Amino acid sequence: VQLQAFGGGLVQAGGSLRLSCAASGLTFNNAAVAWFRQAPGKERLFVAGILRSGITSYADSVKGRFTISRDNAKNTVYLQMNSLKPEDTAVYYCAADPAYVFVNYRPYDYWGQGTLVTVSS
């Protein structure tokens, strides 16, 4: 199983970015997928997750601004990030589990390589 996260970049505060997570060896409509982020010197934190059923969950810090979605035809999960703030600056990772969205990063076996999002003030 390989996950590839991409779409990061530099954006001004208030702007938008869309991250993508593509998979090989795993079908996302049969898996739970989550996005995490890790700022320098800080722990990897849960951002958003989507179950096989399509039910989504979000960290309080991103509710109303970020949206996680899945395109089964492309086997890709997206994270649409709007109204970005400087505190959203981090490396963003996607992770997958056969069944569950965990808010703790430790249980996940499958990870993408991370994509850097930098939000300037």
pLDDT of residue 80: 98
Distant-in-sequence contacts of 60-68, Cβ < 8 A, 24+ apart: 61/87, 62/88, 68/33, 68/35
C-alpha 25/C-alpha 58 separation (Å) is 26
pLDDT of residue 119: 98
Any idea what the Cα angle at residue 28 is, between residues 48 and 90, rounded to 5°?
35
The three-state secondary structure class of 121 is coil
pLDDT, tens only, 2-35: 999 999 999 999 999 999 999 999 999 899 999 9
Is there a contact between 49 and 101 (Cβ–Cβ < 8 Å)? yes
pLDDT, tens only, 52-101: 999 999 999 999 999 999 999 999 999 999 999 999 999 999 999 988 99
Any idea what the Cα angle at residue 59 is, between residues 51 and 41, rounded to 5°?
115
